[in-house]
Amino acid sequence: MNPSLRNRTLAFVTIMVFSVLYLLPTFVGDALPSWYYFEKKINLGLDLKGGAQFVYSIDLDVAVDDKASEIKRDLEIKLGEKQVAAAISTPSVAPGALNVKLTDPAKKADVEKLIGSDYAGILQARPCSEDAATTLCMRIASSYADSVRRGALEQAVKTVRERVDEDGVAERTVIRKDDQIIVELPGLAEESTNRIKELIARTAKLEFKIVANNNDVMRAIFRKVGPADSPKDPEAIDQGIKAYADSWTADKSGDEFLDYFLIASDRDEVLSVEEARAMNCYDKTKVVNNKITCNVSGRRILERYLAKLAAEDPSMKAGDDYQFAFEYTEPQQGSESGETRPFWRTYYLERAVRLTGSAVSNAMATWDQTTGRPEVVVDFNRYGGRLFGDLTAANVGKKMAIILDDKISSAPVIQGAIRQGRSTITVGGANPEQQETEATGLVNVLKTGSLPAPLVEKKVSLLGPTLGRDAVGKAQLAFGLGGILVMAIMGFIYRGAGVIAMAGTAINILLQLMVMAMFGANLSLPGIAALVLTIGFGVDGNILIYERIRDELLLGKSVKGAVDIGFSRAFSSILDGQLTTAAAGWVLLQYGSGPIHGFAVLLLIGIATTLFVNVWVTRLMFDWYISNKKGELATISI
Amino acid sequence: MAASDHNFRYLVKPGTDFAFVSKFRLWIAMSGLLITISIASLFVNKAVRGSYLNWTIDFKGGTEIIYKFKDRAKPDSYVYADAGKVRGALGEAGAEGFDVSEMTWTEEVGDKEVTVRGAMVRTPRFGAMTPAQQKAAGDAFAAKFADRGIDSMQWSGDRLFVRSKAHITDAEAGEVFKASGLEIKPWGASAALYSVPDEGTGEYKQTFAMFGLDRQYELVLEKALPEVDVVTEATSQVSAKAGAELRNEGIKALFYAMLLITLYLAVRFDVRYAPGAILATMHDAIMVIGVFSVTWTDVSLTSVAALLTVIGFSVNDTVVIFDRIRENQVKLKDKRLERIVDISLNEVVVRSILTSATVFAVTLIMNVFGTGLVRNFAFAMNAGIITGAYSSIFLAPPVFLWVSKRFYSGPAPKRAGAKAAAAEA
C-alpha cells in the first residue's frame, strides 16, 4: 500500500468510527452509560414521531380595550385642537367602553357630530348611568370589535409562529382553532419544550414610564412604615416590609431627587382554602385542618399592604394619574440595603405610557461593559427614537422605569437626553447561565413583537405521528424495498463497481445522519424527501463516473489511467449539478419556514456529503480495488 | 489493449445515434401543448370544482374533530383505536384529504385521572351542510325570530353565529332547525360561553351548532368499530398551517432561486445556457402542478416538498447535459452546433435514463406501498421524474440552441473554452 493510500484509508476509518460513535445516542438512546461523550440526537418531526399539542386561549377583549385606549388618545388630540375641554375615560364596565365628559354641555352636539363623522362604524352609543347632558357614553361597535378581535387573533398566531421559528424549532405547527391557538411541537427534550412554552406565552409588553419622585403619597407611606432602621408600623414589621429612601443629585442641574420605596421578600403564609384557590396554589394533598401553606411573593405582600393603606387613609392612595409598580431584585454582595434574599421593591410611577414596544425596530443581546452581565439593547424606529429623545430630554435627573410584562426590569436615572434611538434593558436571573437564556429569550420576543393579550394554556395532549403510526411503518417498508431495488439495479449493471456504489450510498446516509445530529436538525417527511433526492444525486454521480471510466477503457486506456480520467472528467459535471441545486437550496433556506426550511437544511447537508462521498470515498474504494491486485489489470468489473 | 477485453452490461448499447435535434420542433410543440393543458386545467377546476387545486387543510384550514372511544362492555373505560383503522374506515366511506393522528390526554373522571387515547381527525371540509341547506335554515331562522332584533347572522361550517337584541334559547332555535331537517347540538356545561350577553349594549352574541361532519364521521366509525361507543370530544374550525404568507414566501423563494441558478450558469458556463435550464425547471414545476390539477390530487405541504425535490432533480439533470455540451463544444470545434448537441445527448442519454429509472423505481415503490402523505409525495415524484428527464433532454437543449443561434452566431466564447481546456490540462 502506498503512503497516500494508507493515509487516506486511515482518515476514512477515523471518519467512519467518529460517525458511528456520534450517532449512537440517536439509535441506542438512553441505554448509553452517563460517561458517554456524545449526546446530540436527531429529533424526529411531528409527522414521524408525534409530539405535544398545547391549546392556548387568549383574552381578546384586551385588544378591544387597547383599541378604545388608542381612540381615547386620538380623540384627546382632536378635541384639544378644537379647544373643547373634556375628560375622556375608558371605564371597565364593558369591553371597549369610552366616556367623554364635557365641561361645557353646549359643546355636546359638536362633539357628537365629530364622532359621528370620524368614527362612523367604529363607535356606537352605550346606555349608561352618567349625566346625559355632559357625558357621551360610547363603546366600540360590535362588528368593529369583532374585526379587532379577529385581527388580534391573527396577529397573535403570527407572533407565536415567528417566536417558535426564531427559536429554531423545525416542523412546528401553529394554527388558529376557533378563538384559540394550537401549538404543536415535535417530541423535544422537556427542557427545550419548557423554554419554548415560556417564550410563546410571554406577552412581551414593553413600556417606558417616568418615576414620580418627591411625591406626597410615598412620603406619607414612608412616614407610616418608618425607615428600615426604626420601623413603626407593627403590621409592616410582621410582614417583613421595610421602607427606604433613595436620594440622588442630577449631574447637570444639581437638582435634588428623593424616592421613597418599600421592599418585601417572598415568604410562606398559612392561608384558608379559598385564599389559596384564589392565589393558584391550591393543592389537595397539602391541606392541613382546612389551611394550606403557600409561598406568597413579595410583590403580592406589597400590593396587599398598599391596598390596605389606601383604604384606611386617602392620603396614601395612589393618585388618578399615578400607579404603583414593582421590581424584582437579586441582592448583590455588599449592597447598601444589607438584604441577602431576593426582594421586590415598589416604584411610584406616572401612569402615562411614554413609549411602547411597538417603537422597537431591533433588539440584540450584549454584555454590560462594567458588570459583565448580559443585557439587551433595543433600537427604536425613527418615530420611537425621536420620542425617546424628547422624553429623556424633558426628564433629565428623573428615573425612567422600563416595564416588561407588568414588571419593572430596571429604572435608571436619566443622565441626559438620549438621541441615538437606543436603550438597554437589564435582564433578571440568579446566575450567568439563566441571565443569558433570559437575554436570548427577550431578544426573540422583542423582535417578534408583543402579543395583544396574555395566552393561557388550556389543554395539553400528546400527539401520535401526524402521518399516522401505520403510515410510518409502511413508509419504512417502502424505503427498505426501494433501497434494495437501487442496489439490484446498480449491482446488475455495474457489478463490482456497483457494489462500491452501494457502499458509497450507505456511507452517504451515515454521514448525512451524523451531520444532522451535529446540527440538531429535525427529520421529517420533507427532510426525507431531500434525503431521497441526494441519494439520487449520489447514484447519478456514480453513473457519471462509471460511464466515463467505461468510455476511457473502450478507448484502450489502462485501468488505472481510465479510473483517473473518469473521476476527473466526471467531477466538473457532478460539481456543477450539485452546486446549481445548492444555490436553489440556499435560497429556500433564507426565505422558507417550516417544511421548506427543513427540506433546504437537509438538501444542503446532503449535497455536501454526496460530493464528498462521490469524489473522495468512492475514489478511495476504487484505489483499494485496483491496488489489491498484483501486476497490471486487464479490466475491472464495471 | 483491445476493447473486447471489457465485458460491460449495457442498458442501451453504445454507438447509438438518435436524431434528437431534427425533431426538436415536435418536442417543443408537445411541451407547449402539455403546459397549456396544465394551466387550462387549473381554470377548469376553478370553474367546475370551485378552486384551482385540491388544497388540503394545510393550505385552507378546515375542521378538527377529536374522538374518544368508550368500551361498550365497560362504559367507564376507554379503548385505544388505531389511527390506521380510523383512516381506513373514513377512507372507505369516501372522505378525502383528511389526516388522522393519535392523541392522548388526561381527563378527570370522578376523583381519578384517566388517560384517554383518542384520535384527531383533520379534514379540509368546513361543514357537512350544503350552501342551499344553510340558506334555507338561515331564512327560516330569520323569519321566525324577526322580533328579536337580529343584527347579523352568519354560517361558518355547521355553526350559525347570531347577534341579536334579545336572547334566543337553544330550545326555541332547535324547533326551527328541526323543521329544516337539522339537529341542534346542545352545548351542555359550556352553554354560557356560546350565549353571551354584552354588558355594554345588552346585545346577545350566540352560536348554534348543528350535528354535522362530526356526527357523520362518528356514525361511520361506529359502523366500522362495532365494539366501541365513539364519542365526539370536540369539534372546531382550524386555520391553515401555511396561509398566504407561506405561498408568497414560496413564490419569492422560487424567483430568487431561478435568479441564482441563472447567475451560477452564467459564471460557470455561459449566459446562453441559463434560459434553457430555467425554462426546463419551470416546465417541470408547471407539469407537476398540472398532474395534481388534472387528477385532482390533494395538495399539502408535503406536495410542496415533492415539487422542490422535482425541481432540484431537474436542474441537476439539465446541468449535467449542458456540461457535456460545453465539453464537446471545445472538443469538436469543427462540427456544427446542432451536431454537437446531438452527439452530447447521445452520450448522456444512458446516464439520464439510468438515474431517472433508479429514482423512479424507488418512488414508485413508495407510491405502491405507502399511504397518505407518503403516497402523495411519491406520486408527485413519479410525475416529476418523468417530466424532469424529458425536459432535460428535449426542452433545455433546444432552448439553448435557439438562444445560441439567435443571439450568438459566432463560435463558442473564449472564456468557456479556456476554462474547459484548463480543466483538461
- Is residue A277 scored above 80 in pLDDT? no
> Does residue B47 fall inside a structural domain?
yes
pLDDT value of residue B423? 44
Which three cell numbers mark A207?
413600556
To the nearest whole percent, how much of chain A has pLDDT over 70?
Answer: 95
Do A391 and A263 fall within a single domain?
A: yes
Asked if residue B310 lies in contact with residue B284, where contact means CB atoms within 8 angstroms, the answer is: yes
Q: How many domains does chain A have?
A: 3
> CA-nearest residue of chain A to B364?
A482
Report the range of poorest mean pLDDT among A182-191, A324-333, A387-396, B246-255.
B246-255
Cell of A328: 424584582
How far apart are the C-alpha atoms of B180 and B185, rounded to whole Å?
15
Looking at residues A501-507, what average pLDDT do you find? 92
Give the residue on A whose Cα is nearest the Cα of B375: A475
Q: Are residues B287 and B161 in the same domain?
A: no
Distance in angstroms (rounded) separating the CA atoms of residues A440 and B80: 42
How is residue A402 annotated by DSSP?
Answer: E
For residue B13, being part of any structural domain is answered with: no
Q: Are B224 and B346 found together in one domain? A: no
Note whether B7 contacts A635, CB cutoff 8 Å: yes
- How close is the nearest chain A Cα to the Cα of B180, in Å? 26
Q: What is the ipTM of this complex?
A: 0.79
8 A C-beta contact, residue A498 and residue A636: no
Residues A431, A546: one domain? no
Place of cell 393522528: B101
Minimum mean pLDDT among A145-149, A366-370, B22-26, B379-383: which range?
Answer: A366-370
C-alpha cell at A281: 396554589
Determine whether the interchain pair A554/B14 forms a contact, defined as Cβ–Cβ distance below 8 Å. yes
CA distance B126 to B237: 7
A167 within 8 A of A40, measured Cβ to Cβ: no
- Which residues in A lie closer than 8 A to residue B157 (C-beta atoms)? none
Q: Is A404 helix (H, G, I), strand (E, B) or coil?
A: strand
Residue from A159, A160, A175, A176 whose CB has the most chain B CBs within 10 Å, to mutate:
A175
- For the stretch B14-28, pLDDT in tens is 677 788 888 888 888
H-only helix segments in A29-128: 46-49, 61-81, 108-118
| Cβ pair B119, B67 in contact under 8 A | yes
Q: How far apart are CA A268 and CA A339, in angstroms?
A: 18
- Residue A181 belongs to some domain of the structure: no
Q: Is residue B303 part of a domain?
A: yes
Can you give the pLDDT at residue B187? 73
Distance CA A157, CA A138 (A): 30
B300 burial via Cβ count (<10 Å: 0-12, 13-18, 19+): buried
Q: Which contacts qualify for B399-402: CB closer than 8 Å, 24 or more apart?
A: B399/B275, B399/B276, B399/B279, B399/B280, B400/B272, B400/B273, B400/B275, B400/B276, B400/B322, B400/B325, B400/B341, B401/B21, B401/B24, B401/B337, B401/B338, B401/B341
Q: Are B80 and B243 in contact (CB under 8 A)?
A: no
Q: Which residue has the cell 396587599?
A: A304
Residues of chain A neighbouring B416 (CB-CB closer than 8 A)? none
Give A286-302 pLDDT, tens digit per residue: 777 778 888 888 898 99
DSSP-assigned letter for residue B18: -
Task: State phi, psi for B50 to the nearest 5 degrees.
Answer: 95, -10
Judgement on whether residues A491 and A600 belong to the same structural domain of the protein: yes
Query: Residue A73 sits in a domain of what CATH number?
Result: 3.30.980
Instruction: Please report residues of B whose CB lies closer than 8 A to that of A536.
Output: 313, 355, 358-359, 362
* Same structural domain, B287 and B413: yes
Helices first, then strands: H and E counts in chain B:
13, 11
Q: Which residues of A touch B276 (CB under 8 A)?
A: none
Distance from CA of B407 to the nearest CA of A (A): 24
Which residue shows C-alpha cell 369591553?
A95
A contact test, residue of B16, B87, B301, B376 with most A CBs within 10 A? B301
pLDDT given for residue A181 in this prediction: 92
Tell me which chain A residues have a C-beta less than 8 angstroms from the C-beta of B316. 537, 540, 577-578, 580-581
- Confirm whether B10 is domain-assigned: no
Give the closest-approach CA distance of A142 to chain B in angstroms: 9
Candidate from A95, A463, A553 with C-beta closest to B101: A463
Tell me the nearest-neighbour CA distance from A635 into chain B, angstroms. Answer: 6
Same domain, A252 and A354: yes
Q: Which of B56, B102, B347 is the best residue to mutate to test the A interface, defined by the most A CB atoms within 10 Å of its own CB?
A: B102
How far apart are alpha carbons B67 and A22 in whole angstroms?
Answer: 41
C-alpha cell at B384: 416529476
Dist. CA A39–CA B255, nearest whole Å: 40
Instruction: Give chain B positions within 8 Å (CB) of A634.
Output: 1, 5
Q: Per-residue pLDDT for A74 more than 80?
A: yes
B70 in Cβ contact with B231 (< 8 Å): yes
CATH at residue B106: 3.30.70
Contact between chains at A532 and B381 (C-beta distance less than 8 A): yes
A585 contacts B371? CB cut-off 8 A: no
* Residue-wise DSSP of B251-274: HHHHHHHHHHHHHHHHHHT-TTHH
Please indicate, yes or no, whether residues B251 and B346 belong to a single structural domain of this protein: yes
> Does any domain span residue A177?
no
Last residue of some domain: B203, B238, B273? B238
Domain annotation covers residue B5:
no
pLDDT confidence bin for A96, thresholds 50/70/90 = confident
Strands A522-523 and A43-44: parallel
| A170 occurs within a structural domain | no
Cβ-contact B118, B68 below 8 angstroms: yes
In terms of domains, do B228 and B156 share one?
Answer: no
Of A314, A422, A429, the closest CA to residue A376 belongs to A422
Torsion angles phi and psi, residue A349, rounded to 5? -115, 155
Give residue B215's pLDDT. 85
pLDDT tier, A3 (very low <50, low <70, confident <90, very high otherwise): confident
Q: Greatest CA separation found in chain A? A: 115
Residue B3 in any domain: the answer is no
So what's the pLDDT on residue A383?
86
Task: Decide: B175 and B196 in contact? Cβ < 8 Å.
Answer: no
Res A170: pLDDT: 63
Which residue's C-alpha cell is 369583532? A146
The domain of B118 spans 62-127+215-238
Q: Tell me the percentage of chain A whose pLDDT exceeds 90.
A: 13
Report the sign of the C-alpha dihedral through residues A449, A453, A454, A456, in that order. negative
Cβ within 8 Å, pair B3-A553: yes
- Residue B188 resides in a domain: yes
Q: Which pLDDT score, from 0 to 100, does residue A601 have?
A: 87
For β-strands A355-356 and A455-463, DSSP reports them as: unpaired
Query: What are A427-459's pLDDT values in tens digits?
Result: 776 677 777 877 888 888 888 888 888 888 888
Tell me: do B169 and B271 sit in the same domain: no
Q: Using the beta-carbon criterion (under 8 Å), do B198 and A550 form an inter-chain contact?
A: no
pLDDT one-digit tens code per residue, A40-53:
888 888 888 888 89
In a domain, A287, yes or no: no
Which of these three, A421, A450, A479, is where a domain ends? A450
Q: What is the pLDDT of residues A563-613, one digit of tens each?
A: 999 999 899 889 988 998 898 888 878 765 567 778 888 889 999 999 999
pLDDT digits (tens, 9 = 90+) for A455-497: 888 888 888 888 777 777 888 888 888 888 888 888 898 888 9
Smallest Cα distance from B33 to chain A, Å: 28
- Asked if the structure places residue A376 within a domain, the reply is yes
Q: What is the pLDDT of residue B283?
A: 93
One domain, residues A395 and A262:
yes
Highest-pLDDT range among A19-23, A48-52, A356-360, A475-479: A19-23
Contact A543 B354 (CB under 8 A): yes
Q: Are residues B149 and B270 in the same domain?
A: no
A217-253 tens-digit pLDDT: 888 888 888 888 888 888 888 888 888 888 887 766 7
Cβ-count burial of B292 within 10 angstroms (0-12 exposed, 13-18 middle, 19+ buried)?
Answer: buried
- Interchain pair A544, B351: CB under 8 A: yes
CATH number at residue A515: 1.20.1640.10
- Smallest Cβ–Cβ distance between A553 and the set B6, B203, B368 belongs to B6
Which residues of chain A neighbour B7 with C-beta distances below 8 Å? Answer: 635
Is-contact A353 A209, C-beta < 8 A?
yes
Q: Quick one: B288 and B395 in the same domain?
A: yes
A475, A614: one domain: yes
CA-nearest residue to A284 within chain B is: B111
Mean of all residue pLDDT scores within chain A:
84
DSSP type of residue B23: G
Domain check: are A412 and A519 in the same one?
no
CA torsion A384→A390→A393→A398, rounded to 10°?
A: -70
Closest residue on chain B to A598 (Cα): B305
Which grid cell is B172?
326555541
Distance between the two ends of chain B, CA-based, in angstroms?
24
- Domain match, B162 and B22 both: no
Inter-chain Cβ pairs, chain A and chain B, closer than 8 A? 292
In a domain? residue A409: yes
CA B398 to each of CA A507, B24, B260: distance values in angstroms, whole numbers, following the listed order: 38, 6, 22
Query: Do A424 and A552 lie in a common domain?
Result: no
Measured between CB atoms, which of B252, B264, B378 is closest to A580?
B264
Note whether B158 and B279 are same-domain residues.
Answer: no
Question: Residues A521, A571: one domain?
Answer: yes
Say if the Cβ atoms of A469 and B370 lie within 8 Å.
no
Which among A94, A125, A144 is the end of a domain?
A144
The span from the CA of A611 to the CA of A595, in Å, is 24
Residues B159 and B249 in one domain: no
CATH number at residue A322: 3.30.1360.200
Q: Does the reported pTM lie above 0.80?
A: no
In this structure, the answer to whether residues A427 and A492 fall within a common structural domain is: no
- Work out the burial of residue B418: count CB atoms within 10 Å of its CB; fewer than 13 is exposed, 13-18 middle, 19 or more buried: exposed
Domains of chain B: total: 3
* Domain span at A77: 61-144
> In whole angstroms, what is the distance from residue A91 CA to residue A89 CA?
6
- Cα-trace Rg, chain B: 30
* Chain B nearest-CA residue for A474: B370
**Per-residue DSSP letter, A96:** T
Cβ atoms of A277 and A257 within 8 Å: the answer is: no
Q: Looking at the domain assignment, is residue B269 inside a domain?
A: yes
Same structural domain, A424 and A315:
yes
Per-residue confidence (pLDDT) for residue B410, from 0 to 100:
55
Phi–psi pair at A527, nearest 5 degrees: -65, -40
Within 8 A of A547 by CB-CB distance, chain B residues are 350-351
CB contact under 8 A, A485 and B361: yes
**Residues of chain B scoring pLDDT < 50:** 1-3, 414-425
CB–CB contact B241 A94 (8 Å): no
| pLDDT reported for residue B41 | 95
First to last CA, chain A: 23
Name the DSSP letter for residue A614: I
What pLDDT does residue B425 have?
39
Among the partner-chain residues A468, A536, A555, the one whose CB lies closest to the CB of B87 is A468
B255 and B389, same domain (yes or no):
yes
A71 lies in the same domain as A42:
no
